[in-house]
């Protein structure tokens, strides 16, 4: 079997080692696993080395051939909701960007895409912080902030752009700013598949609902309010998160359209991303930092992508790493490489080992990320299988509290 095209180049860039020291065999492919390690307070653990991890495929230990730490370059697309009511939140992000962008490395790039009922690329991937800041200022100067919201379409468009334009050797991420009040159909699986094909993580900056007084401005702001006339009725109007938009007096409106959740937080969790309220002063900086604070483990596999999808993979800290970080949670996903294309699997989680002879200790389950739990099951999960991944790779979703218990599989 021939090593996938383009992989030799990316190995040299990722590992920081001389590629001449790496021995390849014609009957193996180089597989990659992306890993994030957090403590019991959901703070990322940095400074780990290849010797900190143990990796197993179908229970068999695999040597880590190449290792990339947080210095691995990343391409990040900022996906900004510019529908009505979102201007204050975009202004907040623009103001925070000057400091937040300092956490990025010299080889990192940022692009800007905006959306209401359509998507528009405002800045292609750039490495210069001054250009990125100017791009954010241009969004505030050019956009009218008076349209509806199609979040599902925007996430799919963003994933497609990242798939086409991100560098092969870089991590890929989308940071979406929105209030999650959408007017197009929710399609979690479709967006997750698009993110998987792009090998991209989605992180979510959650904008709160804004109460708009009839004929007035934004709370705490001057001006005449959202352009387009006064609001019908005498009470306040709530924008975002399921409020009603599109009626008479709404900018660009014409008929009633009920907002609903686009599932942005759930999609972010399933992709391995984080969720932060945009009102936090450090929300953008924390999001960018956590996207960089991840590891890439490469190992030789004798299987092709199709058969790898049916094999179990586990990643944990070594015994020495566990003694140092006993409650660490290891979140990881396999990336399938084929030529110059790539696709990410589902997120898996390894929590702390149980004491010998004792029950499994469940580490604190943080809100931002969840997935397949290797060692503990703190809540019942429904497994939704995507046949395109092949059997054995799945995406976990929360069951409603009153959902019936799943039927047990017959014992073999």
Per residue in 259-275, pLDDT tens?
899 999 999 999 999 99
**Strand blocks (E) in 188-346:** 200-206, 210-212, 237-239, 244-245, 257-258, 260-261, 275-277, 295-301, 313-317, 329-338, 341-344
Domain 74-290 indexed as CATH 3.40.50.410: yes
Query: Mean pLDDT lowest for which of 102-116, 135-149, 229-243, 246-260?
Result: 229-243
User: Would you state the pLDDT for residue 317?
Assistant: 96
Q: What average pLDDT does the segment 374-378 reach?
A: 34
Closest CA to 43 of 252, 265, 329, 305: 329
Domain ranges of the chain: 7-71+295-398, 74-290
Average pLDDT over all residues of the chain: 75
Q: What is the dihedral angle through the alpha carbons of 190, 192, 198, 201, rounded to the nearest 10 degrees?
A: 150
> Which residues lie across from 53 on neighbouring strands?
317
User: Would you state the pLDDT for residue 366?
Assistant: 36
**Could you give the percent of the chain with pLDDT greater than 90?**
54
Confidence of residue 28 (pLDDT cuts 50, 70, 90): low
User: Would you state the pLDDT for residue 308?
Assistant: 60
Per residue in 207-237, pLDDT tens?
997 554 444 444 433 333 333 333 333 334 4
User: What is the distance, to the nearest Å, from the Cα of residue 186 to the centroid of all Cα atoms in its chain?
Assistant: 17
């Amino acid at each position: 079997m021939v090593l996938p095209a383009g992989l030799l180049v990316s190995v040299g860039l990722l590992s920081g080692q001389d590629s001449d020291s790496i021995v390849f065999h014609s009957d193996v492919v180089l597989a990659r696993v992306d890993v994030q390690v957090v403590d019991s307070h959901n703070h990322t653990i940095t400074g780990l080395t290849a010797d900190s991890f143990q990796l197993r495929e179908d229970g068999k230990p695999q040597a880590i051939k190449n290792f990339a730490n947080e210095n691995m370059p990343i391409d990040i697309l900022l996906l900004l909701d510019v529908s009505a009511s979102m201007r204050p939140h975009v202004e907040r992000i623009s103001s925070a960007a000057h400091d937040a962008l300092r956490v990025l490395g010299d080889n990192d790039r940022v692009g800007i895409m905006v959306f209401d009922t359509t998507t528009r690329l405002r800045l292609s991937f750039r490495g210069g912080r001054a250009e990125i800041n100017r791009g954010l200022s241009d969004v505030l100067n050019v956009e009218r902030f008076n349209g509806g919201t199609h979040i599902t379409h925007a996430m799919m468009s963003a994933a497609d752009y990242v798939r086409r334009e991100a560098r092969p050797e870089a991590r890929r991420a989308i940071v979406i700013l929105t209030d999650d009040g959408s007017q197009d159909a929710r399609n979690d699986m479709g967006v997750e598949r698009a993110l998987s094909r792009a090998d991209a993580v989605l992180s979510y900056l959650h904008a709160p609902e804004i109460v708009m007084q009839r004929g007035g401005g934004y709370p705490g702001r001057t001006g005449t309010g959202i352009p387009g006339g006064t609001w019908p009725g005498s009470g306040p109007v709530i924008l975002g998160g399921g409020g009603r938009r599109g009626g008479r007096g709404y900018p660009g409106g014409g008929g009633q359209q009920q907002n609903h959740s686009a599932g942005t937080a759930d999609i972010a969790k399933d992709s391995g991303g984080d969720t932060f309220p945009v009102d936090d002063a450090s929300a953008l900086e924390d999001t960018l930092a956590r996207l960089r604070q991840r590891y890439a483990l490469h190992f030789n596999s004798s299987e092709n992508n199709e058969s790898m999808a049916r094999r179990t993979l586990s990643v944990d800290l070594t015994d020495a790493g566990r003694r140092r970080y006993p409650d660490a949670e290891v979140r990881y996903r396999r990336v399938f490489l084929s030529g110059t294309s790539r696709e990410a699997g589902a997120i898996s989680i390894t929590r702390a080992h149980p004491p010998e002879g004792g029950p499994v200790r469940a580490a604190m389950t943080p809100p931002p990320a969840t997935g397949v739990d290797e060692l503990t099951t703190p809540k019942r999960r429904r497994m939704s299988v995507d046949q395109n991944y092949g059997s054995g790779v799945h995406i976990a979703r929360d069951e409603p509290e009153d959902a019936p218990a799943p039927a047990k599989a017959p014992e073999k």
